A = this chain, B = another copy of it.
Amino acid sequence: MDHLTHLKTAGLKSTLPRLKVLNLFGNGNERHLSAEDVYKKLLASGDDVGLATVYRVLTQFEQAGLLIRHHFEGDKSVFELNEGKHHDHIVCLQCGRIEEFYDATIESRQKKAAADRGYSVHDHSLYIYADCIKPKCPNKP
């Protein structure tokens, strides 16, 4: 399903700002971007989109299920394309690198922990904060 179709499916009208934002996430760029990141990247590529619009669109895409919002350590939200395959994250505290992983055992133990206590799970977030080993860690974003 292409971007335009994605928008229609979500009941969102196809506008230039929305397509531009969706393109950013679709590219081979970094998968995890903050609103500020998106705004700056669009400006840099000559596509002028208002900051308010960026925030609005990101939230709409999240509600439509096109993007996933993360609250890594710190104040700002980070978004990534929702490609249907759930995964968790390791965040390097030195350089900000983000690595994805999936562990079926962790997933099932989580479900069990919640079920045992009478909870109906919506979702969960698991962030591992770590240092990546020297060679591949350029230190500091």
- A132, B123: Cα distance in complex, Å: 13
Q: Are B114 and A130 in contact (CB under 8 A)?
A: yes
A110 within 8 A of B: yes
Q: Chain B residue with minimal CB distance to A72?
A: B71
Copies of this protein in the assembly total 2
Which interface class (under 10, 10 to 19, 20 to 34, 35 or more) fits A? 20 to 34
> In the complex, what's the smallest C-beta–C-beta distance from A114 to chain B, in angstroms?
5
Residues of B within 8 A of A106 (CB): 105-106, 109-110, 113
Residues of B within 8 A of A93 (CB): 122
A124-B119 in contact given A71-B71, A110-B106, A114-B90 (Cβ < 8 Å):
no
A 97-119 binary contact with B (CB < 8 Å = 1; else 0): 00101010110011001100111
